[in-house]
Amino acid sequence: GAVVSQHPSWVICKSGTSVKIECRSLDFQATTMFWYRQFPKQSLMLMATSNEGSKATYEQGVEKDKFLINHASLTLSTLTVTSAHPEDSSFYICSARAGGEADTQYFGPGTRLTVL
Amino acid sequence: GQNIDQPTEMTATEGAIVQINCTYQTSGFNGLFWYQQHAGEAPTFLSYNVLDGLEEKGRFSSFLSRSKGYSYLLLKELQMKDSASYLCAVLDSNYQLIWGAGTKLIIKP
């Protein structure tokens, strides 16, 4: 149980284009989903927290107009990187939490974004 | 400020035992997680401790002392596939997950 999928697993795009990443909880309903970014050899950095049906809460320094998050259902959240630039190249990982605030976060496999 | 400390890197031998320590200073405490992350992959959940003591799960055990702000992950009978980074994360009083930088564990034959 507690399987989270992400699509695509990797993407290469040109500078200035937008990229959408999907995160799905396959066998449970996720009340809350989280989006992280991880640069090589660095720790996870939380970008935003989203609850189904409400606006995402962004961490300080994360541009909400650049990283659009939609959590339309209890099993799907999407992250759109708008007008991507090379510095946005990173490993983007989502996680989903089924129950309350102390419940475990289960991670998707991650999406490696390379912006040329 | 909030702080989680764990060693950057450790080396151990296949078949041996290794203990990875984690100390934390956070605003409140609602539990501590250990995750395993292989290179190029997302983290996978290993354990969750909210009460003091040792939780054993197969070859892996996790210990917590809330009064000392301290936890460790114990890995027994090490296998080559255990080579990975091990992340310690604490849920603070706002139920925010505060992440350590991770400990890279290298297993040698």
SS (H, E, C) B45-103: EEEEECCCEEEEECCEEEEEECCCCEEEEEECCCCHHHCEEEEEEEECCCCCEEECCCE
pLDDT score recorded for residue A86: 95
pLDDT score recorded for residue A103: 82
* Phi/psi at B80 (5° precision): -60, -35
Q: CB distance B42–A46 less than 8 Å? A: no
Residues 6 or more apart in contact with residue A23 via CB below 8 angstroms: A4, A5, A6, A33, A35, A76, A77, A78, A79, A94, A96, A108
Core vs surface per residue B75-93: b (16+ CB within 10 A) or e:
beebeeebbbbbbbbbbbe
- Chain B residue numbers with beta carbons less than 8 Å from the beta carbon of A102 are 30-31, 50, 91, 95
Q: Which of B30, B42, B99 sits opposite A107 (nearest CB)?
A: B42
pLDDT score recorded for residue B33: 95
Distance CA A43, CA A5 (A): 21
- Decide if pLDDT at A12 tops 80: yes
Residues 6 or more apart in contact with residue B56 via CB below 8 angstroms: none
Give B55-107 pLDDT, tens digit per residue. Answer: 999 999 999 999 999 999 999 999 999 999 999 999 988 888 899 999 999 99
The nearest alpha carbon in chain A to B30 belongs to: A102
Q: CB distance B31–A102 less than 8 Å? A: yes
Q: With bands split at pLDDT 50, 70 and 90, how would you rate the model's confidence at A19?
A: very high
Distance CA A62, CA A50 (A): 14
Distance CA B23, CA B103 (A): 12
- Decide if pLDDT at A41 tops 70: yes
pLDDT score recorded for residue A95: 94
pLDDT score recorded for residue A1: 63
Q: Which of A44, A102, A104 sits opposite B95 (nearest CB)?
A: A102
Among A residues 13-72, those touching chain B with beta carbons less than 8 Å apart: 34, 42-44, 46
Range A20-47 average pLDDT: 91
Give A55-107 pLDDT, tens digit per residue. Answer: 899 999 999 999 999 988 899 999 999 999 999 999 999 999 987 777 888 99
Average pLDDT, chain A: 92
pLDDT score recorded for residue A99: 77
pLDDT score recorded for residue B108: 96
Q: Which of A2, A42, A93 sits opposite B42 (nearest CB)?
A: A93
* Phi/psi at B59 (5° precision): -80, -15
Q: CB distance A110–B42 less than 8 Å? A: yes
- Chain B residue numbers with beta carbons less than 8 Å from the beta carbon of A46 are 97, 99
* Residue indicated by tokens 């070859």: B59
Range B39-56 average pLDDT: 93
Q: CB distance B30–A101 less than 8 Å? A: yes
- Chain A residue numbers with beta carbons less than 8 Å from the beta carbon of B101 are 42-43
pLDDT score recorded for residue B36: 96
The nearest alpha carbon in chain A to B31 belongs to: A102
Give B7-42 pLDDT, tens digit per residue. Answer: 999 999 999 999 999 999 999 999 999 999 999 899
Range A35-54 average pLDDT: 89
